[in-house]
Structure 1
């Protein structure tokens, strides 16, 4: 298993505890967990196109071709019947540094993806030594300090780089650094081994299945969309949860996907085009409610009480993404700005939800301010909503707060380094889910 030095611990616990708001005794465990690579890889099968059994056979064949008799196990979880998991390799020690090989440096974002089984795409390559040839094996390092200049041609010497694995070069320097966008794209290095033990498969996503984190799949199951309903996905890009909603609805009903970035909406159009029930709009969800109460048949803003179910996968600090390799932490002021946006979005969601409807609030972070405190604020602010149990329950209960009783904490779902999340089968990213129901009267 991959255990880098925590990028947070050297910054002093006071700052991190101010931001993360967890019990001081639990902070080192949390920070260490965030710096480790999740052990499992998960795919969500599009059951409108294929069966889970057929896709499992396809995955097993690809793994057999790659790893032979050492191919990792493919299995499912009964709570999420559309999901398949790939276990870690039994022998990750094969990823060993070879001093005879040249070195290649990637940024921390690329490095984190590499440790989760990805290959290296051209934009992530910071440095490649002169003379590196096609098909040559190289030692791959991540630049933790962020000081390596893109295009560096000599061996990058630094105490703040970390060995990640060995890869085979598919692009040379002139393809990577000639400022030609067309050539400087695609896979630059095919990873042969990595130190995390996660299979190096790249992204096998296609129309039949999608690489997706386990909690994101749980999130839509908690929402529980039904055929024929009207569902709003307030912050939809890149559209993975949106398509999951449509699949659970049998592509029957109405799924409205909003995002405030035009480029992100364009980017997910090809994915959403395979579904009849999805309509996507470039629109700021903090303004999704039509204050005049007028019904608009062509798109947002919408009249109050327009939707049966609403998913608010809110913009957040993203501190649940693992592994965290960066040596810098976001400024406290930046982190503290997210709850303001999240509250504005929640206020819109409550108004747009029909009586008796379901609202799911989720984040891919671990800060108390964006998770449990946001839930406590919503319950104070909107007496017409109440917490309900976020089933299926694969995560741990929420953190204890004075404003939330024990029963309410049990209804929440937090993915983190708790006892419930320590098994390989549930080792995933940090995430938070809360489910609300609006009063019928």
Structure 2
């Protein structure tokens, strides 16, 4: 299993923030954040295909990827999530953990390195450096540059004690294709990973209209929302739209899913992905902190801002510090004020959500982080601020309970769902709370 020795582990700012989570478990949590989640999950679009058909397609792909008697990764489902297919990690003997000293080297940045450990290949823009005379189809050792000092396009071997080995790849593009003076940057896969040290199968992204590569907690999050056909549902921070499409699929594409995001480019990307496949989804470029209309008009317009009590269910997958995204090869957060800014925006969004939710409606709040300030503390604040809110059990449950707080009863903490160290399924860090408005 991969345990990188990185500057992330000694980042005093991040450690101070995580100490608020649980001082007794800070070391365990930091190590966990640096490891790679072992399970790869795909969400099958059951409006287009069925799970068994897609499973057969995946098995056929894996048979081609691991021929000649190699043991292919196991594919399995989850009882409470019938749209999910999981790909198990490779057996230990199939994952190389020691670099071959006879191979040339390719260097990538930490963001790309983390993706490789999750099973990705290296696209052309991700190649920081490749040694001279590296040939097509040649196998190379791939390293992530933790120090951030590798100069793009360097021709000699990058010598630095803070580069970390992530696996072996096969070269599909040579240096002259990667580092040229043409206006158009090269695209496509430059290095196809053959294996990595995490044991996660190097398959690239097999997403299609039939199935989407998606983290398990994100899938669970929409199941906790439990959208029903014919309902009017708001996804407040929707881009890139993965949870939005899941909502529409669980509704049988019957009803209305309003997707808001304040980034025009992200909404354009989401619309391109949606195509004409979902008639129930309406996407808008809009700031959800201003989603409540000033007028008390009871009509329900098709575009934001909206009158109070306009929605049956609301998903607030809030902007956050993203510290649950694993593996964390390097912490890039420099200033404490950046971490402290997230709870403010999260509270502003929740305030809008409470007003937009009809009585009896369901609100799900989620983040992909692990800090108490952005998770349990936000829940405690919402319950104090809005007595009309009460917690419901965030089921189906694949994570653990929330952390105990002085202003959260033990029974309330148990209704929350936190994905962290010790869960049965090894996932990214994530948090889910489910409210009902009386």
- Per the TM superposition, whether the score is higher than 0.5 is yes
1:302 and 2:306 matched? yes
Q: Shift in Å at residue 186 of structure 1? A: 1.5
Instruction: Flag the 1:363–1:179 CA change in 2: closer, same or farther, 3 A.
Output: farther
User: What residue in structure 2 maps to residue 290 of structure 1?
Assistant: 293
Aligned residue for 2:315, secondary structure, equals strand
From 281, 286, 289, give the equivalent of 2:284: 281
Matches within 5 A, 1:358-369: 358-369=362-373
1:384 and 2:383 matched? no
The runs of at least 4 aligned residues of structure 1 exceeding 6 Å deviation read: none
User: For the Cα contact (< 8 Å) 1:36–1:322, is it kept in 2?
Assistant: yes
For normalisation by structure 1, the TM-score amounts to: 0.95
Q: Shift in Å at residue 328 of structure 1? A: 4.3
Q: Shift in Å at residue 19 of structure 1? A: 4.8
User: What residue in structure 2 maps to residue 24 of structure 1?
Assistant: 23
User: What residue in structure 1 maps to residue 89 of structure 2?
Assistant: 88
Q: Shift in Å at residue 179 of structure 1? A: 5.4
User: What residue in structure 2 maps to residue 322 of structure 1?
Assistant: 326
CA distance in 2, matches of 1:436, 1:107: 40
CA distance in 2, matches of 1:238, 1:15: 27
User: For the Cα contact (< 8 Å) 1:92–1:196, is it kept in 2?
Assistant: no
CA distance in 2, matches of 1:84, 1:190: 23
User: What residue in structure 2 maps to residue 102 of structure 1?
Assistant: 104
User: For the Cα contact (< 8 Å) 1:8–1:329, is it kept in 2?
Assistant: no
Instruction: Flag the 1:72–1:196 CA change in 2: closer, same or farther, 3 A.
Output: same
Aligned residue for 1:336, secondary structure, equals helix
Q: Shift in Å at residue 194 of structure 1? A: 0.6
**Structure 2: unaligned runs, 5 residues or longer:** none
Q: Shift in Å at residue 21 of structure 1? A: 1.3
Query: For 1:182-233, what per-residue CA distance to the aligned partner results, in whole angstroms no more than 9, with x for missing partners?
Result: 4422111100111110001000000100000000000000000000000000
User: What residue in structure 2 maps to residue 265 of structure 1?
Assistant: 267
Aligned length: 433
Instruction: Flag the 1:180–1:381 CA change in 2: closer, same or farther, 3 A.
Output: farther
Query: For 1:36-90, what per-residue CA distance to the aligned partner results, in whole angstroms no more than 9, with x for missing partners?
Result: 0000100000000111111111111111111134101100110111000000001
User: What residue in structure 2 maps to residue 3 of structure 1?
Assistant: 3
User: What residue in structure 1 maps to residue 244 of structure 2?
Assistant: 242
User: For the Cα contact (< 8 Å) 1:213–1:429, is it kept in 2?
Assistant: yes
Instruction: Flag the 1:215–1:15 CA change in 2: closer, same or farther, 3 A.
Output: closer
Aligned residue for 2:47, secondary structure, equals coil
Q: Shift in Å at residue 134 of structure 1? A: 1.7
User: What residue in structure 2 maps to residue 434 of structure 1?
Assistant: 433
Q: Shift in Å at residue 170 of structure 1? A: 1.2
User: For the Cα contact (< 8 Å) 2:232–2:257, is it kept in 1?
Assistant: yes
Matches within 5 A, 1:14-413: 16-19=15-18, 21-68=20-67, 69=69, 70-90=71-91, 91-94=93-96, 96-178=98-180, 180=182, 182-273=184-275, 274-294=277-297, 295=299, 297-326=301-330, 328-413=332-417
Aligned residue for 2:113, secondary structure, equals helix
Instruction: Flag the 1:272–1:405 CA change in 2: closer, same or farther, 3 A.
Output: same
